[in-house]
């Protein structure tokens, strides 16, 4: 990392914030084998450069989270947390216009890379906002914690889910955390105060085996088909409910059959078959009622049909952060001052915030990305340099407002 003054420019006459962002994008924290060690090494140097104390918290022997602290003058007050995940989703390199890990900057300032939106900019914007505030001689009243998490993209089990159980998390005394949102193709920022729970449902049907030229009764396939049909009918009804009532995706249950399993040969009726579904359940839907429906459909299908949820997905209380109180009002004030419309809703997918909210810490998901197509998990993910820098300014104002001056 080349040296720079606290508010300096990099050797390439590029703002230092952009240079650090592009360096971070080049670290291959991509699943299935994210280079977390590379990211930790980068963040250690970065924290040193901006003079922030850093803690590296092992979650497993190969996966460590990173926490930077900007100490406030009144540590007794609940702190502000700024979180981002270090990992990114895989790429299909052939579909990309540029190497997804080169962080190429196009002549118009677009920076193309996996993670350019989801969600490496926020991690760097937090630190750069601190750099600017420090340079300006400003310091916070509340502690500000900058958190870099692991494995968000694969469910957060070896990440935020474990971290919220630690003594360190309790000691941080977080009053509110800001996390990721979704870019807005139009003007203004999307902001999320809750999210749907992922239910990764596995339905397994078993039945008699035999020669496939016969009408074998109650075969695994026949039974599984019953459950699949019921689930897909339910999918249709939820899609209709969304369209008829003009609801957001975050307000209805979505369901996709994503994996089919079982069978060995065309002419052998198998003993067991499975179907896996990605289901997203809004906080407004009763978990008991939905589990009850799945149970009924499996029972109707016949003996030997069961269901389970994968990993840490399935019915849970994710919590909703209230759009009231000092934290929310602070965010609204910043947006107003910056003439930035805010569009609150329920996040359709899953983020680390669900673990924070269910631990009693309000969390708001907002990526300061406007007038940019949403390319989360898509190829040719990019962010314009100017939009990135606008995000740094957003966090400067957010920190001043939410962490208070001393």
Ligand X SMILES: CSCC[C@H](NC(C)=O)C(=O)O
Binding residues for Zn(2+): 85, 118, 153, 180, 377
Residue 167 makes CB contacts below 8 A (sequence gap 6+) with none
In angstroms, the first-to-last Cα distance of the chain is 32
Residue 350 contacts ligand X per CB under 6 A: yes
Min dist CB 313 to ligand X, Å, is 5
What are 22-26's contacts with CB under 8 Å, separation 24+?
A: 22/103, 22/105, 22/111, 22/113, 23/103, 24/115, 24/120, 24/123, 24/124, 25/101, 25/103, 25/111, 25/113, 25/114, 25/115, 25/116, 25/120, 26/101, 26/102, 26/103, 26/113
Min dist CB 367 to ligand X, Å, is 11
Residues 162-221 that bind ligand X (CB under 6 A): 198
Stated as kind and residue range, the H or E segment containing 205 is: strand 197-206
Q: Which is nearer to ligand X, 155 or 263 (CB)?
A: 155
Q: Which does 119 bind (CB under 5 to 8 A by kind): ligand X, Zn ion, none?
A: Zn ion
Question: Quick one: tokens of 387?
Answer: 């939009």
Min dist CB 300 to ligand X, Å, is 28
Residue 83 contacts ligand X per CB under 6 A: no
Concatenating the DSSP letter of every residue in 268-291 gives EE-SEEEEEEEEEE-TTS-HHHHH
Stated as kind and residue range, the H or E segment containing 335 is: helix 325-337
Question: Quick one: tokens of 299?
Answer: 């029972």
Question: Is 87 known to be catalytic?
Answer: yes
Residue 118 contacts Zn ion per CB under 5 A: yes
CB atoms within 10 A of CB 143: 23
Only one residue has tokens 């609150």, namely: 344
Q: How far apart are CA 295 and CA 218, in angstroms?
A: 18
Q: Which is nearer to Zn ion, 191 or 301 (CB)?
A: 191
Question: Is 152 known to be catalytic?
Answer: yes
Task: Spell out, one character per residue from 130 to 159, where the chain touches ligand X: x when CB under 6 A holds, - when not.
Answer: -----------------------x-x----
Question: Quick one: tokens of 313?
Answer: 């997905």
Q: Which is nearer to ligand X, 219 or 321 (CB)?
A: 321
Query: Which span sits near ligand X by CB under 6 A: 65-73, 232-240, 333-341, 343-351?
Result: 343-351
Query: Which span sits near Zn ion by CB under 5 A: 57-65, 173-181, 231-239, 265-273?
Result: 173-181
- Could you say which of 110, 128, 151, 152 is catalytic? 152
For residue 178, give the 3-state DSSP assignment: strand
Min dist CB 132 to Zn ion, Å, is 24
Min dist CB 351 to ligand X, Å, is 5
Q: Which is nearer to Zn ion, 72 or 100 (CB)?
A: 100
Question: Quick one: tokens of 121?
Answer: 């900019």
> Which position among 117, 125, 321, 351 is part of the footprint of ligand X (CB under 6 A)?
351
Residue 345 contacts ligand X per CB under 6 A: no
Residues with active-site annotation: 87, 152
Binding residues vs ligand X (CB under 6 A) = 153, 155, 198, 313, 349-351
């Amino acid at each position: 990392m080349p040296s720079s003054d606290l508010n300096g420019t990099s050797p390439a006459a590029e703002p230092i914030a952009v240079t650090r962002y592009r360096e971070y994008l080049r670290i291959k924290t991509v699943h299935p084998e994210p280079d977390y060690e590379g990211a930790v090494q980068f963040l250690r140097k970065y924290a040193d450069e901006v003079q922030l104390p850093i803690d590296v918290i092992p979650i497993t022997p190969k996966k460590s989270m990173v926490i930077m602290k900007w100490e406030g003058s009144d540590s007794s007050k609940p702190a502000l947390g700024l979180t981002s995940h270090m990992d990114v989703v895989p790429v299909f390199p052939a579909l990309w216009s540029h190497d997804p890990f080169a962080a190429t900057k196009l002549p118009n300032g677009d920076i193309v890379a996996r993670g350019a939106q989801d969600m490496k900019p926020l991690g760097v914007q937090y630190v750069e906002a601190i750099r600017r505030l420090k340079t300006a001689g400003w310091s916070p009243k509340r502690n500000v914690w900058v958190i870099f998490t692991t494995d968000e993209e694969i469910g957060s089990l070896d990440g935020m889910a474990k971290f919220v159980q630690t003594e360190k998390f309790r000691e941080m005394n977080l009053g509110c955390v800001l996390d990721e949102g979704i870019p807005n193709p139009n003007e203004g920022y999307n902001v999320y105060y809750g999210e749907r729970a992922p239910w990764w449902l596995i339905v397994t049907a078993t039945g008699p085996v035999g020669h496939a030229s016969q009408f074998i009764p109650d075969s695994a396939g026949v039974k599984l088909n019953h459950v699949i049909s019921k689930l897909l009918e339910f999918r249709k009804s939820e899609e209709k409910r969304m369209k008829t009532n003009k609801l957001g995706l975050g307000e209805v249950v979505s369901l996709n059959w994503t994996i089919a399993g079982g069978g060995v040969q065309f002419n052998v009726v198998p003993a067991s078959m499975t179907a896996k579904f990605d289901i997203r359940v809004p906080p407004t839907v009763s978990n008991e009622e939905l589990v009850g429906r799945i149970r009924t459909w499996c029972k109707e299908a016949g003996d030997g049909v069961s269901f389970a949820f994968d990993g840490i997905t399935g019915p849970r209380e994710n919590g909703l952060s209230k759009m009231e109180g000092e934290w929310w009002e602070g965010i609204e004030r910043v947006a107003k001052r910056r003439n930035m419309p805010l569009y609150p809703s329920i996040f359709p997918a899953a983020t680390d915030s669900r673990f924070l909210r269910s631990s009693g810490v309000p969390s708001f998901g907002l990526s300061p990305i406007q007038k940019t197509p949403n390319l989360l998990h898509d190829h040719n993910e990019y962010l314009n340099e100017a939009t990135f820098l606008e995000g740094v300014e957003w966090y400067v104002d957010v920190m001043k407002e939410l962490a208070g001056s001393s």
